[in-house]
């Protein structure tokens, strides 16, 4: 019953948002293809120097969950940038990545508490849209930050999700030239980032003509579910040569399944996000690789964007942030890198 009510409430709220005058002239956002975009390194060049920030500005961050290191790191990025300008930041999240109504309640409460601007990382593409509409009506800037994308978002900060999967597919094409069977472990159905990452991988690897994607199954960001999904796929396809997984938590579950069947030498496993446990697994020779989307830096860029907005600057609808394919060859370069040095490397 609770799941049914959740679906009905969010569906009704979404219909109201899309039909409202505030969003009437706003095309649905696809953050990967939006033309009104700028790279994170171009903010000063495109929009001028970072402005003076008034006293009393406070920013609210609403995240998916704090049980996942990626989202904790994103919050660290918010706070580190805000601290330079004495800006107060509150960073809150739902109890888990499936508590859509809990996350919406947090967002609504922040609006009533009078925050100057808000940073939303929705659990799905629609569950925070009702709050975004209310904020819009009150002239409170809202920035949608990695990785679900609200279709009516006025501003988005994050990486190009489709390119994530493209990078992993290209690794297989370059490093497994003989081809073979591969599989995808997806995030939740209907989430923009999961869809784009999966499409980037499958479209690219299929073009080579040497690979067969034998399964593409959701595991809903769950390490346990990913373990079970991977075990089933491997049992049905004992000659499988690799997995592409939509986040690192699930990828580590897939690694456990591969190890349980003693297939480490045969099966390559790639994750997404660049959490520290993924780096440790790569350096230990277990996880083959990940696509690091640098959550701390993403958080810093998102905070810069939202503070520019509060100061009245007009910013492009999408600000893209960096990512990199990480394997044993370059893991030490990026793992625990000094933040300033990392910025220099990624800005090249």
Give residue 303's pLDDT: 98
pLDDT in tens, 174-192: 999 999 999 999 999 989 9
**Is pLDDT above 60 for 18?**
no
- Please say if the pLDDT value at position 173 is more than 80: yes
Task: Give the C-alpha separation, 325 to 69, whole Å.
Answer: 19
Question: In whole numbers, what is the pLDDT of the chain averaged over residues?
Answer: 93
Residue 301 pLDDT exceeds 60: yes
CA 261/CA 47 separation, integer angstroms: 54
CA distance 81 to 145: 15
pLDDT at 70 over 70: yes
Q: Do 159 and 321 contact (CB within 8 A), yes or no? A: yes
| Tokens 């309640």, residue located | 105
The whole-number average pLDDT for the span 94-102 is 93
- Rounded to an integer, the average pLDDT of 32-45 is 97
- pTM of the prediction? 0.90
Q: Per-residue confidence at 143, pLDDT binned at 50, 70, 90?
A: very high
Q: How far apart are CA 228 and CA 217, in angstroms?
A: 11
Q: Which CATH class is domain 161-292?
A: alpha beta
pLDDT tens digits, 236-269: 999 999 999 999 999 999 999 999 999 999 999 9
Q: Closest Cα to residue 305, out of 50, 124, 135?
A: 50
pLDDT at residue 222, as a whole number: 96
191-228 per-position pLDDT tens digit: 999 999 999 999 999 999 999 999 999 999 999 999 99
Q: Indicate the length of the chain as a whole number.
A: 348
- Options 3.40.50.150, 3.40.50.2300, 3.30.420.10, 3.40.50.1820; CATH for 2-6+26-159+295-321 is 3.40.50.2300
How many Cα atoms are found within 13 Å in the side-chain-facing hemisphere of 199?
12
Q: Report percent pLDDT > 70 for the chain.
A: 93
Q: Between helices 223-236 and 248-260, what is the axis angle to 10°?
A: 40
| Mean per-residue pLDDT, 6-29 | 52
Q: Is the separation of the CB atoms in 286 and 264 below 8 Å? A: yes
| Stretch (H or E) spanning 63 | strand 58-65
Cα radius of gyration (the chain): 20
Grade residue 348 by pLDDT with cuts at 50, 70 and 90. Answer: confident
Confidence of residue 4 (pLDDT cuts 50, 70, 90): very low
pLDDT at residue number 250:
98
Q: Domains of the chain: which residue ranges?
A: 2-6+26-159+295-321, 161-292
Predicted local confidence at residue 147, as pLDDT? 85
Q: Are 213 and 186 in contact (CB under 8 A)?
A: no
- pLDDT attached to residue 25: 63
């Amino acid at each position: 019953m609770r799941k049914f009510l959740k679906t009905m409430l969010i569906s009704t709220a979404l219909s109201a948002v899309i039909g409202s005058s505030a969003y009437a002239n706003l095309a649905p956002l696809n953050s990967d293809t939006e033309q009104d975009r700028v790279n994170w390194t171009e903010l000063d060049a495109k929009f001028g120097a970072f402005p003076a920030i008034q006293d009393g500005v406070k920013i609210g961050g609403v995240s998916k969950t704090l049980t996942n290191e990626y989202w904790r790191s994103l919050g660290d990025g918010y706070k580190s940038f805000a601290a330079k300008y004495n800006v107060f930041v509150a960073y809150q999240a739902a109890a888990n990545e499936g508590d859509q109504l809990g996350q919406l309640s947090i967002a609504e409460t922040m609006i009533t508490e009078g925050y100057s601007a808000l940073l939303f990382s929705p659990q799905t593409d629609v569950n925070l849209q009702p709050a975004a509409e209310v904020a819009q009506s009150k002239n409170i800037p809202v920035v949608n930050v990695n990785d679900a994308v609200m279709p009516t978002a006025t501003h988005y900060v994050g990486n190009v999700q489709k390119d994530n999967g493209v990078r992993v597919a290209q690794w297989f094409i370059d490093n497994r030239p003989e081809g073979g069977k591969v599989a995808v472990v997806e995030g939740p159905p209907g989430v923009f980032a999961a869809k784009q990452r999966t499409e980037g991988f499958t479209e690219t690897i299929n073009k080579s003509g040497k690979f067969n994607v034998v399964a593409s199954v959701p595991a809903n960001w769950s390490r346990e579910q990913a373990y079970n999904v991977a075990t089933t796929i491997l049992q049905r396809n004992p000659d499988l040569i690799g997995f592409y997984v939509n986040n690192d938590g699930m990828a580590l579950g897939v690694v456990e399944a591969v190890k349980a069947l003693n297939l480490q030498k045969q099966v390559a496993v790639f994750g997404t996000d660049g959490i520290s446990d993924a780096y440790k697994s790569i350096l230990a020779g277990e996880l083959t690789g990940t696509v690091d989307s640098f959550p701390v830096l993403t958080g810093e860029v998102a905070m810069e964007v939202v503070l520019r907005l509060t100061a009245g600057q007009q910013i492009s609808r999408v600000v893209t942030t960096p990512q990199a394919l990480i394997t044993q060859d370059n893991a030490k370069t990026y793992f625990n890198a000094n933040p300033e040095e990392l910025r220099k490397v990624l800005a090249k």
